[in-house]
């Protein structure tokens, strides 16, 4: 009788004489120290959710990922020496109209062996307000690099900083030209000795741009686009940038060789204040 019961039990369970299959531990239970099973790796962090932009705005990288980006106001390497209010990510945002026009400029640049590199694009109004507050305090941490010959109190009066700014309308940007393949560019080290933006290219901060005669955001007459204090190569490099941008419908601000605005911008009278995120 016992033999009959055992036989029936084996048949019902379909386990009689079969090898045991190990069961994987539950993901919520860690293996013991003596277990030969390695713990599973942690799942990758979820990417940051996309920030919804106002209608008519895009990330430049979504339109043309080949354009280099070095958004300085999202870093401490700028004339205030810290991340500027409103810059939550080093990202170039533009109106779609401006981004598509810049894409066409990039196509022309790449056909000649160059790439565009942007330093700043859309700038929220809160960043402009941050600049105004900075201008009213005594801090001059970055003077030796960015405004060595200009008194800080004159930066607004001389037109180097303005509020409101065309950047807040979304179709103005600061940029330069880089020869391809782009050279490596070291990171800025906060607290490193500063060198005037008007010094020769081999002495000032080592940007990978063509030599434009000054560094970016150099508040000095030498940064005026048509200044006479340039050598032949520097003048040719500025003319290259001006010609490329003009061909795409952009006009230059005469006091800054790097500053361009789309001639027929879609929001000529609107100043936005959403963050760069």
Can 256 be counted among the known catalytic residues?
A: yes
Q: Which position among 88, 199, 232, 256 bears the catalytic label?
A: 256
- Candidates 110, 112, 73; CA nearest to 89 is 73
Cα angle 156, 89, 258; round to 5: 40
Cα separation values, 123 from 154, 167, 186, Å: 22, 5, 25
- 41 Cβ contact list (under 8 Å, min separation 6): none
- Candidates 122, 131, 135; CA nearest to 89 is 122
Burial label for 38, CB within 10 Å (0-12, 13-18, 19+), is exposed
- 147 Cβ contact list (under 8 Å, min separation 6): 79, 155, 160, 218, 219, 220
Q: Round to whole Å and give the CA distance between 177 and 179.
A: 7
Catalytic site positions:
256
């Amino acid at each position: 009788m016992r033999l009959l019961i055992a036989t029936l039990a084996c048949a019902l369970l379909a386990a009689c004489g079969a090898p045991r299959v190990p069961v994987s531990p539950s993901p919520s239970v860690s293996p013991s120290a003596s277990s030969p099973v390695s713990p599973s790796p942690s799942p990758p962090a979820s990417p940051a959710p996309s920030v919804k932009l106002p209608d008519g705005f895009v990330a430049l990288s979504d339109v043309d990922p080949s354009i280099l980006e070095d958004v300085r106001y999202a870093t401490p390497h700028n004339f205030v020496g810290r991340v500027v209010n409103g810059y939550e990510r080093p990202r170039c945002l533009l109106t779609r109209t401006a981004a598509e026009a810049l894409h066409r400029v990039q196509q022309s640049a790449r056909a000649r062996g160059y790439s565009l590199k942007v330093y700043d694009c859309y700038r929220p109004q809160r960043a402009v307000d941050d600049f105004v507050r900075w201008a009213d305090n005594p801090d001059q941490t970055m003077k030796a690099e960015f405004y060595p010959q200009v008194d800080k109190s004159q930066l607004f009066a001389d037109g180097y900083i303005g509020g409101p700014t065309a950047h807040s309308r979304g179709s103005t940007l600061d940029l330069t030209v880089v020869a391809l393949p782009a050279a490596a560019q070291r990171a800025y080290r906060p607290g490193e000795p500063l060198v005037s933006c008007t010094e020769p290219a081999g002495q000032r901060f080592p940007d990978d741009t063509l030599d434009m005669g000054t560094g970016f955001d150099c508040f000095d007459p030498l940064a005026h686009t048509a200044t006479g204090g340039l050598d032949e190569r520097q003048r040719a490099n500025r003319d290259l940038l001006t010609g490329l941008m003009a061909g795409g419908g952009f006009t230059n601000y005469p006091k800054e060789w790097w500053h361009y605005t789309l001639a027929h911008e879609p929001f000529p009278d609107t100043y936005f204040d959403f963050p760069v995120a």
